Amino acid sequence: MSKKYAGGCEHVHTHSDKDPIDNHICHCSVCKRVTGQAATHVVFFNHADLKVDNLKGLNRQPFNIQNPGGPLELCTCSTCGTPIMLDDKQRRIRVVVPNLMGYVSESMPASYHAFFDSSAGAKAPKDGRPVYAGLRPDFVWPESA
């Protein structure tokens, strides 16, 4: 059966029929370091809305090696090493990077730029999307599940 959003790899599949709660292009140093991309399309789902069919098939490591006790864990397939998602230990969100985690980016377009810091010397994006120093001002973190 087809899902609205689906990704993962051959060994671990993720999916949701619910829409994301946030969808942005991230310019933070952690995303840059982890993905190797200058800016990263990031999609947040409520934790319970993004389903995983093989949780035991995941390796977990801190998302931010400079903050290993932080809430986000990078989950990769224990068989092939493919990045699957970021999982929040507080059970608020699950995060996917569409172009790295098997999703169709066009099905969930980013609506703004987050964590943009002009003092780093980068030019501000000029694609018509709002640019913020953090998450969009109206974003509210979901309660822990």
Encode pLDDT of 110-128 as tens digits.
999 999 998 878 889 999 9
Domain boundaries, the chain: 5-120
Encode pLDDT of 48-89 as tens digits.
999 999 999 999 999 999 999 999 999 999 999 999 999 999
Q: Say which amino acid occupies 107.
A: S
Q: What is the pLDDT of residue 134?
A: 96
Helix (H) or strand (E) holding 95: strand 93-96
Determine the Cα–Cα distance for residues 65 and 34; give it in Å rounded to an integer: 9
pTM, two decimal places: 0.95
User: In the chain, which ranges are continuous DSSP H helix?
Assistant: 29-35
Determine the Cα–Cα distance for residues 42 and 109; give it in Å rounded to an integer: 10
Structure tokens at 11: 């060994």
Q: What is the pLDDT of residue 121?
A: 83
Q: Say which amino acid occupies 93.
A: I
The angle subtended at Cα 91 by Cα 35 and Cα 71, nearest 5°, is 50
Closest CA to 102 of 139, 75, 135: 75
Encode pLDDT of 18-58 as tens digits.
999 999 999 999 999 999 999 999 999 999 999 999 999 99
Q: Report the CATH fold assignment for 5-120.
A: 2.170.150
